[in-house]
Structure formats: C-alpha cells, structure tokens
Structure 1
C-alpha cells in the first residue's frame, strides 16, 4: 500500500545578508518533508525490502518533487539539490535508505530539474525533533563548491519511533560571497589532470 503520510512540511529560508554584507543575489533554500509511518514497523527483521520500496518510494518522490517545484517556481530555477531521511528509533537506518536510495524515488526529482549530478544525501536515525540535515550540491556540476550547502531544520513531533521523515532539498543560488574556488582549481594546483583526476 502507498506510504501512510501523517503530515507534510515546507521549509523556505532566504538569506539576504551574510557576514554583515548584503547578498548581491539572495540565497533561497527549500526543504519539502513528509512524515510517514515506517512501512516495516512491527514486522521484526525484514529480509526483502523491495515490496515496501515499490509501494512507497514513487509516491513520495512525486509528492516531494511537486512541493519543491511549486515553492521554487519550476525545475529550471533549482540549482542545488539533495535528499535526506531520518528513521525513528524503532526502525533501521536501512529503512530510510531503502526509500531514498532508489531510482523510483530520486528520478522524479532528477528529471524534473534536469539534473546531471547525483543527489547528495544523509540517512540517520533519531528521536522527534532530531536535526534534519540535507546536503546540497550543484545539480549539474559536483565540483562547483559555491553550491555546497546544507539545509538544517527539525520537526518538533517527528519522527515518532515508528515513523520516517523523508525530505528533498533545493537551493536557488549558491552561498552569498562564495570565495573558495572550485574543485578544478585545486586539481590544477596539485598538478592533476582536471579531466582525469586520478592521473598525476
């Protein structure tokens, strides 16, 4: 059966001033979250998680992607993206991983924003009000450090012991006043081939 959703939440954060200096382009970070009943709750150790994945992951991916698109104004506006899960203390970290580390979840978001890079992630276990941290990276370029960001928030009453918080994150823009360069500059300084970093 589809995910049993207790609530959804939308977190929108706009940074206008950073380091005491106004941002030339304000940074917007968005988190779309769903609090669901753990589909494997009360079943003991479940060997095959695939039925629950097929039941729950596609609907969650579609729902949370739609929330991000509405809040951002469209997939073309999204620059950085990521995902996260927090499993309640009666569940396994594997339960959260099962729902977010599947193409049946992530491809809704990836396709909607036209992304090329992988979705950065966290999957943890914790009590209600645990810190939800969604790492972001540029949707096209994993070496673009200006978009290495983390959305941090929490839900006062979730996850309950038999719940999971599932989330997608997005940024419109990168860090204001970013000035640490990109990964490619480091590779050049270290004498590595930018197109083949393993080569010296």
Structure 2
C-alpha cells in the first residue's frame, strides 16, 4: 500500500426516532476515515501522482469498511460521499488529488455500481477539525430523499503533515423524507441523474 496510514476510524450512525416518529428499519450511515501522511506537505510539486494513487487505494479500503460496518452486501448500499481535511503544511489541491481522479472507481466497486458523481468536500484544518461529508444517492443524483451529510472528525488529526480522508456509505436516505422528487423505486440508474 502506498498510503502511510496512522489510524483508521469507523463509526455507524443509526436513527431510530425522527420528529417523534419511529423509523423502522432505522436509517444507517457508516463513516470510515483514514489518517495518512501527506507526501507533499511543506513543499510545492507540480505532479501529485502519489496522492492520486493513494486516493485509489483508499476508495476501495474505506468503501469496503463502510459496507462491512453496515453489515450489508455492496448492492444494498444506497448513497455515498467523500471528503478530505488537509493539514496546515498541505494544500487544498492535495485533498483534491486524493479525492477526484481515482478514488471514485474503487468506491463504486465497493458499493456495487454507482452511476452518480460522488459528492465531495475538502478543507484545510488542524487537530480535531470537523468536515461535513455530503451525501447523494449512488445511482441517481435527483433522489432528494438521499441529500444529506455526515459529520467527520478525528480528535488527533490532521497533524500539519497529514490528511484525513473520509468516505460515507448509507443503506437508506434521510429518516422520514417527505419533500417529493424522484423516488428510489423510480431510479433508472443509467445517466447518474435519474
């Protein structure tokens, strides 16, 4: 593995009651985060290939950890998202290099398909910085019930020369959705939109 991982954090969020209404089955979101060394921290490089390759490794690893944490098969995954926090000796472009060119394909494999773009966020931060990982349905971006986010934070990361890379996978949409729009049962799943 090209990534130098200091730690991995995995957590599951289950909502059983929303607005006083029982949610059965509960909505569940899994978050997997890797704290990694940033090989470009403290120096400018026109070529960010090492981070692009690390992103490819982490897409599969973190996606699989989420699916395992939910106890589902990959095809039961419904939405996904990704985010990165780069330490203060890094650049936002370092987060972009991890997230965008190659992380998506192995994440899609981990969740069995994924026609829609993977929503993403990035920021610079320090120890304990929080980022909201945006979520959308993996096959149809127009499914409003799956517009959501999950908060990600590692108390001792990122250090100046590190990055926190986060992936979220869900087995459902928001609890008690009721704002209309394209329904899961209506997804065609070919263009990533509908």
Instruction: Indicate whether the TM-score tops 0.5.
Output: yes
Q: 1:7 maps to which residue?
A: 7
TM-score by length of 1: 0.85
Q: 1:81 maps to which residue?
A: 80
Q: How does 1:169-188 map to 2 (within 5 A)?
A: 169-182=168-181
TM-score by length of 2: 0.88
Q: 1:119 maps to which residue?
A: 118
Secondary structure of the equivalent of 1:118? coil
1:150 aligns with 2:154: no
Following superposition, the deviation at residue 132 of structure 1 comes to 2.3
Runs of 5+ unmatched residues, structure 2:
184-194
The CA distance in 2 between the partners of 1:58 and 1:122, in whole Å, is 17
Runs of 5+ unmatched residues, structure 1:
185-200
1:30 aligns with 2:23: no
Asked if the contact 1:24/1:176 (under 8 Å) is kept, the reply is no
Aligned residues: 182
Asked if the contact 1:3/1:39 (under 8 Å) is kept, the reply is no
Asked if the contact 1:88/1:164 (under 8 Å) is kept, the reply is yes
Change (3 A) 1:60 1:153: closer
Whichever of the two has the greater Rg, that structure is 1
Following superposition, the deviation at residue 155 of structure 1 comes to 0.9
Kindly provide the CA deviation profile for residues 124-165 of structure 1, in whole angstroms up to 9, marking residues without a partner as x: 111111112111101111111100110113111011111100
Q: Which runs of 4+ in 1 moved over 6 A?
A: none
CA RMSD of aligned residues (A): 1.8
The CA distance in 2 between the partners of 1:45 and 1:95, in whole Å, is 10
The CA distance in 2 between the partners of 1:70 and 1:81, in whole Å, is 14
Q: How does 1:14-163 map to 2 (within 5 A)?
A: 14-42=14-42, 44-54=43-53, 56-72=54-70, 73-103=72-102, 105-113=103-111, 114-163=113-162
